[in-house]
Amino acid sequence: MPQSGDARRLRIAMAQLNTTVGDFEGNLQKMLDGVEQAKALAVDLLTFPELAVCGYPPEDLLFKPHFIAENRRYLQKLVKASAGITIVVGFAEGNGAIYNAAAVIHDGKLVDVYHKIFLPNYGVFDENRYFRPGDSCPVYTIAGVAVGVNICEDIWYEVGPASVQAYAGAELIVNVSASPYYFGKGDAREEMIAKRAKDNIAIFAYNNLVGGQDELVFDGGGMILDEKGRLLARGRQFGEDMILADLDVAAVAQVRLKDLEWQKGVAPWKEPPWKVTRVTLSDKPFSMRKPTISTRKVKPKNLYAEIYDALVLGTGDYVTKNGFEKVLIGLSGGIDSSLVAAIAVDALGKSNVVGVTMPSRYSSPGSVSDAELLAKNLGIKLLTVPIEKVFQAYQDTLAESFRGTKPNVTEENIQARIRGNILMALSNKFGWLVLTTGNKSEMATGYTTLYGDMAGGFAVIKDVPKTVVYELARYRNYRGDKELIPASVIEKPPSAELRPEQKDIDTLPDYELLDPVLKAYVEEDKSVEEIIALGIDEEVVRKAARLVDGSEYKRRQAPPGVKITTRAFGRDRRLPITNRYKGW
């Protein structure tokens, strides 16, 4: 409680780590490094992200009792290293019932455990599948400061543990998170936290995970806001960081003293939704001799830089966390594969990216030369494996079975699948992970060949609409000192080049028309009628909806890729394949 002459300050450090699911040893080492660094800086309170001990999200690994036990053993190792500091760290607690928990560790002891109350079970989240919700809101006295601890989703509700803790006296709210990225989410988070800070007159310290995990990329960007909602510190986006601040806790007490509403002490709920517990860890800081530390506010990136960096981090982490060094990309000379190659080079370095061009009778000379120019610009190795001979062998082999039929999409798919087979053969022979190059507009409409261009381990831009692919290519060219993706690649009309003179526009509406329809239909659950009512051409809308519904079976067999929108294909969108509902 505030006292006259109150000059309380608390030094906080938030370690924004890139953990890996199931990598107990690796995650512990990162945390021990963080502890050492924090101690050297005389930090009072050090935080690590949600489920940092075991990695997030561990999914059904949580059902293995030995996984939970291992996670507990590693937590204990962190406890042992905590002499002279207070730590808040996420782990999975349980024995039968499992909780998404935060351990509060102080000076060599595990003092208390908080259980996450709000369990997200929408979008990509399945937390009700694993966890029971907590039922109490602890307030800890740490270095003489009242601190509320909670986890990720907890903070997103106006009446949640943070507000209960603040009304029970907490002056600092610590939230440890694993909040996956979609574009624009950083701003939404900052706005929400600023509101919570102002409403509750408390400092909010938000520690987010960073790194890629299958379909998800966590963008970090942890931040600390003061009791007026003003930004004190912001960490890097898409990179590990240590976010430091000296918090003027006395100021919180001052503002509260002057706030008449607050002084009435009437909480905005009728009954307290959860019980409040109080635990005193320390009445004063370990050390009073603290030099001033530097607090940084990393500037937010612009939209395309943000998306691009999300793709780089998600791709790099998928490759390396799965034990691969090199990747292989089929380069068609088109914009999708060119962008994917640029992302791969930025993620892994040019010596770890191999391109292969697989020309056919239908490849334009420009495509081959564009692929070559791109490879030269990126400085990557380029293989050439023409598919003509194999294509001819298929046609000869199938001639009898196909007698009396006319060439159609079948022959186009055979070519795409020959390329898929060649990519996988090179992958099997040399241990390179194949990156696929399909974009979201194609994945949505099924303008893609299952086992053909969809063949590979990771689908880098599967959540990037074609119109955004262009923006990202331009952004990457703009960012570098030289034109990386040849202008001819960006300018030519998109084509699969699987039959003479083929253009995407023969089959699909123009992407400028198509993408807004796909967004409304796929991401916003709008009906065909509602989209038409927005003034979009009826034929385009009906065709797009029909194509989306009809290609669910393809998407079910697609490799994972980085989510960058509010609704990606994959665990984020769960539609039956067997489905007779037709809105078109």
List the catalytic residues: 50, 116, 152
Least distance to a second copy from the beta carbon of 553, Å?
6
Measured in whole angstroms, the distance separating CA 114 from the mean position of its chain's CA atoms is: 25
Check binding of 26 to a second copy (CB under 8 A): yes
DSSP string across 490-521: HHSPP---SSTT--HHHHS--HHHHHHHHIII
Check binding of 70 to a second copy (CB under 8 A): yes
Check binding of 372 to a second copy (CB under 8 A): no
Q: Which of residues 373-392 bind a second copy (CB under 8 A)?
A: 383, 385-387, 389-390, 392
Closer by beta carbon to a second copy, 86 or else 332: 332
Check binding of 580 to a second copy (CB under 8 A): yes
Check binding of 199 to a second copy (CB under 8 A): no
Among 4, 95, 294, 578, binds a second copy (CB under 8 A): 578
Q: Which of residues 307-336 bind a second copy (CB under 8 A)?
A: 317-318, 321-322
Among 83, 188, 293, 393, binds a second copy (CB under 8 A): 393
Closer by beta carbon to a second copy, 450 or else 489: 450
Short-list 285, 241, 276, 250, CA closest to 106 = 285
**Inter-CA distances, 578 with 361, 549, 550, Å:** 38, 10, 10
d(CA 277, CA 579): 50
Residue 197 CB burial class (10 angstroms; 0-12, 13-18, ≥19)? buried
Q: Which of residues 109-168 bind a second copy (CB under 8 A)?
A: 121-122, 126, 128-129
Least distance to a second copy from the beta carbon of 296, Å?
30
Binders of a second copy: how many residues, by CB under 8 A? 86
Closer by beta carbon to a second copy, 261 or else 396: 396
Check binding of 446 to a second copy (CB under 8 A): no
Among 369, 421, 477, 566, binds a second copy (CB under 8 A): 421
C-alpha angle 497-499-504 in degrees, rounded to nearest 5: 55
d(CA 259, CA 124): 40
**Inter-CA distances, 233 with 47, 171, 295, 357, 497, Å:** 15, 17, 6, 47, 50
Among 40, 66, 95, 265, binds a second copy (CB under 8 A): 66
- Whether residue 205 contacts residue 10, with contact meaning beta carbons closer than 8 Å, is answered with no
Q: Which of residues 533-562 bind a second copy (CB under 8 A)?
A: 553, 556-560
Among 137, 176, 335, 422, binds a second copy (CB under 8 A): 422
Per-residue contact flags (x/-) with a second copy for residues 43 to 62, judged by CB under 8 A: ------------x-xxxxx-
Among 29, 33, 36, 65, binds a second copy (CB under 8 A): 65
Q: Which three-class secondary structure string do you get for 351-402? A: HHEEEEECCCCCCCHHHHHHHHHHHHHHCCEEEECCCHHHHHHHHHHHCCCC
d(CA 582, CA 584): 6
Least distance to a second copy from the beta carbon of 445, Å?
17
